[in-house]
Structure 1
């Protein structure tokens, strides 16, 4: 199969799980013998633009005509079987969908966030859940509240893009890949066409080794931001420390807006270590030596890469009991869930997972089995290719666009033969 991946890479100043997912999917497909080309823009390149060029960037968010032209030319020349769209903000824009239509190439898109129903894609405002724009034809609340970067002016291009391109997305993409059932359910409830929404979890590379002992630390691995529950974790850990601790330290790895606060909080403590930003190898090592990975996110996460990475290493997780975490973590089997936003609940779950080593190891083994069944590269490849074949079949008339898409396999197997034929046009 010949696939063209379309992606606007996020800034390299902060680690991006989305960039990682894109790179790993490209590598997975290529290793399986598929031809994969990439059409991309990089947010890092904005800094090198002239002042007028920088000023023009917000104007291109809803529609970038030069990208439409460039991509259409590329598609006519290379004739891929399918285009896989990831992020289009801020330099690509939904004009990529028009290019696919111009060239007659079917498109699929992975929904890494909630940008189809929320201009900044987070469903959060002022530190809490916000759904004011969900189901609204005109996303004015986002502009009024300045939901993107706390700026009304910065939010306007995103709101305009959502307003003018909503139908283009819904009609121009044959299959949307939701990365959790929780995400799909919310998008369907908001009015998105359910027949186009399939669940395809992100996969995680096999680390090659599983934890062999009880572990030596609790681990928070991620962006140091309010939405990720960092302050909640610090409050819970202070309560744990006041009660005598759990016998192992808390390690925090990452970077973000709360870095100075975390650094000051951890300074001079024996029970806390802030280690800064880890590279991928260091992340794998830290996960593999953890008693548990802690994911206390305040946001409705669409997936949860760090939890899946812990599963791959045979490590249980303590996670917030909402969003995608409730389908990643089976309570008491592969980890523990705490009440979202509740430091007392989080502290009790951390104490429990650290106090029962035998039970912890059992949960770790169950987590590894769950990984092998749902989040391994083999499973990821199968679901990805089946999704492509379904999209190709629908576009070529060999599939049924009304097929229930909540079950990726059901819709994809039915169109697989037509997809293979369509790939030879």
Structure 2
């Protein structure tokens, strides 16, 4: 199969699960013998633009005519069977859909977040869940609140792009790949076409080894933001420490806006280690050495790669009981789900998962079994190719079999 992957890569200064997913899918498809091309833009390139060029970037967010022309020419030259769209913000724009329509190539789009109904894509604002813009309406609330980067001005291009391109997305994509059933359910409720929305979970590569022994630490791994539950975790750990601890330290690995706050909180403590940003090898080592991975996101995650990575290593998870986490984690079987936003609930479950090594080991084995069934590369490849074929068949049918 000939596949062209379209993706605007996020800044390399910040860890991006979405970039990882794209890279791993491309590698998987190529290893299976499919011919995969890339049509990319990189957000890193914005920094090297002139002052005028940087100022023009927001104008390209709703529509980039140069991208439409360039991609259409490439599609005519390469004639792929299907185009797989991932992120188009900020340099590609929904003009890629027009280029695919010009060339008559079917489109599959992975929805990594909630940008179809929420300009910043998080459904999270001011430390709590938010759904003000969900539904078939102009997302004026996002502009009023300055939801993207706490700036009304920066939010305007996203809100405009969502409003003017909504119908183009819904009619121009044959198959939307939701990465959890919870995400699909919310998007269907918002008015997106249910018949085009399917669930295809992300996969994670097999780390090559599973946990041996009881584990040496509890591990938070991810971006250091309030939405990821970092402040909630710190509050919960104070509860744990006040009760005498759990016998192992908390390791916090990642980078983000709360770097300094986390470092200051951890400084001088024997029960906490702030590790900063790990490279992939250190990530695998840290996960495989964990009593449990803690994922206390206050935003409703669409999936949760860190949860799947823990499962692959035979490690249970303590996660917030909402969004994609409720689907990934079988509560009491492969991990434990705490009440979202509740520090006491999170502290209680961190104590519980560390208190019974035998039960913890059982949950770890069950987690690995669940990974093999739902989140392994073999399953990911099968589902991906299946959806490509469905998109091709759908486009052929809509064209009258021509």
TM-score, with normalisation over the residues of structure 2?
0.99
Distance 1:125 1:235 in 2: 20
Q: Give the equivalent residue in structure 1 for 2:26.
A: 26
C-alpha RMSD over aligned residues: 1.2
Q: Aligned runs of 1:169-318 on 2, under 5 Å?
A: 169-318=169-318
Distance 1:269 1:343 in 2: 20
Q: Give the equivalent residue in structure 1 for 2:335.
A: 335
Contact (CA 8 Å) 2:17, 2:305: kept in 1 or not? Answer: yes
Distance 2:138 2:310 in 1: 40
Give the deviation of 1:398 after TM superposition: 8.0
Distance 1:92 1:399 in 2: 27
Mind listing any 5+ residue stretches in structure 1 that lack a counterpart? 401-417
Task: Please list every run of at least 4 consecutive aligned residues from structure 1 whose deviation after the TM superposition is greater than 3 angstroms.
Answer: none
Q: Give the equivalent residue in structure 1 for 2:366.
A: 366
**Corresponding position: 1:58 with 2:49:** no
Deviations 1:334-376 (A, max 9, x none): 0000000000000000000000000000000000000000000
Distance 1:213 1:285 in 2: 13
Q: Give the equivalent residue in structure 1 for 2:146.
A: 146
**Corresponding position: 1:345 with 2:354:** no
Give the deviation of 1:142 after TM superposition: 0.7
Give the deviation of 1:212 after TM superposition: 1.3
Distance 2:41 2:88 in 1: 9
Distance 1:183 1:41 in 2: 26
Contact (CA 8 Å) 2:136, 2:191: kept in 1 or not? Answer: no
Give the deviation of 1:125 after TM superposition: 1.3
Moved more, 75-84 or 140-149: 140-149
Contact (CA 8 Å) 1:393, 1:399: kept in 2 or not? Answer: no
Q: Give the equivalent residue in structure 2 for 1:39.
A: 39
Distance 1:94 1:232 in 2: 36
Distance 1:98 1:346 in 2: 46
Contact (CA 8 Å) 2:85, 2:109: kept in 1 or not? Answer: yes
Distance 1:98 1:119 in 2: 21
SS at the partner of 1:226? coil
TM-score, with normalisation over the residues of structure 1?
0.93
Contact (CA 8 Å) 1:253, 1:275: kept in 2 or not? Answer: yes
Give the deviation of 1:40 after TM superposition: 0.2
Q: Aligned runs of 1:103-142 on 2, under 5 Å?
A: 103-142=103-142
Give the deviation of 1:399 after TM superposition: 11
Distance 2:30 2:291 in 1: 35
Contact (CA 8 Å) 2:254, 2:277: kept in 1 or not? Answer: yes
Distance 2:399 2:230 in 1: 46
Contact (CA 8 Å) 1:120, 1:148: kept in 2 or not? Answer: yes
Moved more, 125-134 or 28-37: 125-134
Give the deviation of 1:28 after TM superposition: 0.4
Give the deviation of 1:138 after TM superposition: 1.0
Contact (CA 8 Å) 1:322, 1:340: kept in 2 or not? Answer: yes
SS at the partner of 1:228? coil
Number of paired residues?
Answer: 402
Distance 2:113 2:50 in 1: 31
Q: Aligned runs of 1:380-399 on 2, under 5 Å?
A: 380-397=380-397
Moved more, 140-149 or 379-388: 140-149
Q: Give the equivalent residue in structure 2 for 1:93.
A: 93
Contact (CA 8 Å) 2:124, 2:299: kept in 1 or not? Answer: yes
Distance 2:190 2:399 in 1: 26
Distance 1:240 1:126 in 2: 26
Give the deviation of 1:129 after TM superposition: 1.0
